[in-house]
Amino acid sequence: MRNYRTLKTRFFDSMTYMQGATDIVGKQLISLMRFAAVRFADNWHALCKWLEKKGWKRLGYGFFANVYATPCGRFALKLARGGTKTGYDSYARFAAANPSNPYLPTVYIHTRTDFGMMTLLERLTPLTDALHPECVDIQKRLKADVLDCKNTDTA
């Protein structure tokens, strides 16, 4: 049997980064994260199913994480299994510590659980089609630079 008091304490202790979360996110969403971290502390799959049953929309998934949109659609919740080996924990802490950096997502809450990590962050939007030609051009230039570097190294 799990010790819920210890889990609850660990959740609050691990919430080292809350960039204005109580003002922006609201107490209801923080309470939901606390409940999820305590109730599903060691069962990542059960938490994913519970979120989908409660109306959270899965935006995507990858090798070590699922990303869900909050019911209001304003925020995203990333549930990572493990993550310290892949560097996500360091990245999320860095993003949370640098909220004024325009190239990083705004991280409101980042906490560790027994299954991995929960990160509440701003929901990003995909690039528009208008920006797509610029991105293709940048990719071509980067590829050309890499090829130039390889050619000069072998010469």
State the amino acid at position 35 in one-letter form: F
> The domain that contains 13 carries what CATH number?
3.30.200.20
pLDDT tens-digit readout, 61-108? 888 889 999 888 888 999 888 755 667 888 888 888 888 888 888 888
Domain total of the chain: 2
Same domain, 62 and 76: yes
Same domain, 118 and 146: no
Same domain, 16 and 36: yes
Residue 142: its pLDDT value, please? 77
Same domain, 47 and 71: yes
Same domain, 71 and 134: no
Same domain, 147 and 94: no
Q: Taking the model in full, what pTM does it have?
A: 0.67
Supply the range of the domain harboring residue 105: 4-122
Residue 133: its pLDDT value, please? 75
Same domain, 66 and 113: yes
Same domain, 72 and 137: no
Same domain, 69 and 115: yes
Same domain, 64 and 139: no
**Average pLDDT, whole number, for the chain?**
75
Same domain, 77 and 20: yes
Residue 16: its pLDDT value, please? 45
Mean pLDDT for the stretch of residues 115-124:
86
**123 pLDDT more than 60:** yes
Same domain, 42 and 55: yes
